[in-house]
Structure 1
Amino acid sequence: MTITETPPQFHGNLVGGREVPAVSGRTTDDLDPRTGQTYLRVPACDVGDVTRAVDAADAAFAGWAATAPSARRALLNHAADLLESRLEEFTTAMLAETAGTRSWAAFNVSMSAELIRQAATMATAPTGSLLATDVPGQWSLAVREPAGPVAAFVPWNGPLILCARAVAVALATGNPVVIRPSEDAPVTSGLFLAQVLADAGLPDGVVNTVTNDRADAPGVVQALVADPRIRRVNFTGSTNVGRIVGAAAGQHLKPAILELGGKNPILVLADADLDHAANGVTTAKFMNSGQICMCVDRVIVHQDIADDFTTRFVEQVRALGQGDPDSPTTTVGPLINARAAERVAGLVADAVAKGARVLVGGGTPDGAFYPATVLTGITPEMRIYGEEVFGPVATIFTVPDDEAALTLANDTDYGLSSAVYTENATRGLAIARRLRHGAVHINNHSVSDEPQAPVGGVKDSGYGHFGSQWGADFFTETRWVTIADRS
Structure 2
Amino acid sequence: MTTIRSIDPSTGVQLAAFEEDSEEFVESRLAAAAAAIPQLAELGWDGRAGLMRAAADLIESEIDELAAVITAEMGKPIAQSRAEVSKSAYGMRFYADNAEKFLAGRELDNPEAVSASAARTRFEPLGVVLAVMPWNYPIWQVVRFAAPALMAGNAGVLKHASNVPQSAVYIGELFTRAGFPHGAFSTLLIGSRRVEAVIRDPRIAAVTLTGSEGAGRAVGATAGDVLKKAVLELGGSDPFIVMPSAELDAAVATAVTARTSNNGQACINAKRFIVHEDVYDDFARLFAERMAALVIGNPADPATQIGPLATESGREDVEVLVEDAREKGATILTGGRRGDREDGWFYEPTVIADITTDMRLYEEEAFGPVASLYKVSSLEHALTVANDSPFGLGSAFWSNDAEEIARAEREIEAGAVFVNGMTISYAELPFGGIKRSGFGRELSMEGIREFCNIKTVWVA
TM over 0.5: yes
User: CA–CA distance in 2 between the matches of 1:111 and 1:319?
Assistant: 28
User: CA–CA distance in 2 between the matches of 1:72 and 1:363?
Assistant: 50
Q: Which moved more, 1:43-52 or 1:102-111?
A: 43-52
**Contact 1:180 1:211 (8 Å CA) reproduced:** yes
Question: Normalising by the residue count of structure 1, what TM-score does the alignment of the two structures yield?
Answer: 0.90
Q: 1:192 Cα shift?
A: 1.7
Q: Cα deviation per residue 1:275-325 (whole Å; 9 max; x = unaligned)?
A: 010011101100011100001111000011111111211221122121110
Matched, 1:393 2:388: no
Matched, 1:217 2:196: no
User: CA–CA distance in 1 between the matches of 2:360 and 2:158?
Assistant: 34
Q: 1:43 Cα shift?
A: 3.2
- The correspondence of residues 16-415 of structure 1 with structure 2, limited to 5 A, is 27-45=3-21, 47-125=23-101, 126-131=103-108, 132-134=110-112, 138-188=117-167, 190-212=168-190, 216-218=191-193, 220-364=194-338, 366=342, 367-415=344-392
Question: Normalising by the residue count of structure 2, what TM-score does the alignment of the two structures yield?
Answer: 0.95
Q: Tell me, what secondary structure is at the counterpart of 1:232?
A: strand
The residue type equivalent to 1:77 in the other structure is: R
Q: Which residue in the other structure is 1:476 paired with?
A: 452
The residue type equivalent to 1:196 in the other structure is: L
- The correspondence of residues 448-487 of structure 1 with structure 2, limited to 5 A, is 448-483=424-459
**Contact 1:454 1:467 (8 Å CA) reproduced:** yes
User: CA–CA distance in 1 between the matches of 2:346 and 2:380?
Assistant: 37
The residue type equivalent to 2:143 in the other structure is: A
User: CA–CA distance in 1 between the matches of 2:278 and 2:118?
Assistant: 65
How many aligned residue pairs are there? 454
Q: Which moved more, 1:235-244 or 1:46-55?
A: 46-55
User: CA–CA distance in 2 between the matches of 1:426 and 1:103?
Assistant: 38
Q: Which residue in the other structure is 2:415 paired with?
A: 438
**Contact 1:61 1:206 (8 Å CA) reproduced:** yes
User: CA–CA distance in 1 between the matches of 2:280 and 2:311?
Assistant: 34
Q: 1:174 Cα shift?
A: 0.6
**Contact 1:339 1:368 (8 Å CA) reproduced:** no
Q: 1:159 Cα shift?
A: 1.3
Q: 1:449 Cα shift?
A: 2.1
**Contact 1:289 1:333 (8 Å CA) reproduced:** yes
Q: Tell me, what secondary structure is at the counterpart of 2:411?
A: coil
Q: Tell me, what secondary structure is at the counterpart of 1:35?
A: coil
Q: Tell me, what secondary structure is at the counterpart of 2:436?
A: helix
Q: Cα deviation per residue 1:361-408 (whole Å; 9 max; x = unaligned)?
A: 112465411011111111111111111001011111101111111111
Q: 1:246 Cα shift?
A: 0.8
Q: Tell me, what secondary structure is at the counterpart of 1:67?
A: helix
**Contact 2:120 2:458 (8 Å CA) reproduced:** yes
The residue type equivalent to 2:100 in the other structure is: T
**Contact 2:379 2:404 (8 Å CA) reproduced:** no
Q: Tell me, what secondary structure is at the counterpart of 1:182?
A: coil
User: CA–CA distance in 2 between the matches of 1:315 and 1:412?
Assistant: 27
**Contact 2:72 2:300 (8 Å CA) reproduced:** no
Q: Tell me, what secondary structure is at the counterpart of 1:297?
A: strand
Q: Tell me, what secondary structure is at the counterpart of 2:70?
A: helix
The residue type equivalent to 2:232 in the other structure is: L
**Contact 2:329 2:354 (8 Å CA) reproduced:** yes
User: CA–CA distance in 1 between the matches of 2:259 and 2:212?
Assistant: 18
Q: 1:260 Cα shift?
A: 0.2
User: CA–CA distance in 2 between the matches of 1:343 and 1:28?
Assistant: 22
Gaps of 5+ in 2: none
**Contact 2:240 2:270 (8 Å CA) reproduced:** yes
Q: Tell me, what secondary structure is at the counterpart of 2:333?
A: strand
The residue type equivalent to 2:156 in the other structure is: V
Matched, 1:427 2:401: no
Q: 1:239 Cα shift?
A: 0.8
Runs of 4+ in structure 1 displaced over 6 angstroms?
Answer: none
Gaps of 5+ in 1: 1-23
Q: Tell me, what secondary structure is at the counterpart of 1:143?
A: strand
**Contact 1:150 1:233 (8 Å CA) reproduced:** yes
**Contact 1:34 1:334 (8 Å CA) reproduced:** yes
Q: Cα deviation per residue 1:230-283 (whole Å; 9 max; x = unaligned)?
A: 112111000111011111111111111100001111000011111010011101
User: CA–CA distance in 2 between the matches of 1:379 and 1:142?
Assistant: 51
Task: Tell me how large the CA RMSD over aligned residues is.
Answer: 1.7
The residue type equivalent to 1:36 in the other structure is: G
**Contact 2:394 2:416 (8 Å CA) reproduced:** yes
The residue type equivalent to 1:323 in the other structure is: G
Q: Tell me, what secondary structure is at the counterpart of 1:192?
A: helix
Q: Tell me, what secondary structure is at the counterpart of 1:38?
A: strand
The residue type equivalent to 1:241 in the other structure is: A
User: CA–CA distance in 2 between the matches of 1:42 and 1:108?
Assistant: 24
Q: Tell me, what secondary structure is at the counterpart of 2:457?
A: strand
**Contact 1:66 1:174 (8 Å CA) reproduced:** no
Q: 1:130 Cα shift?
A: 2.3
Q: 1:206 to 1:377 in 2, by over 3 A?
A: same
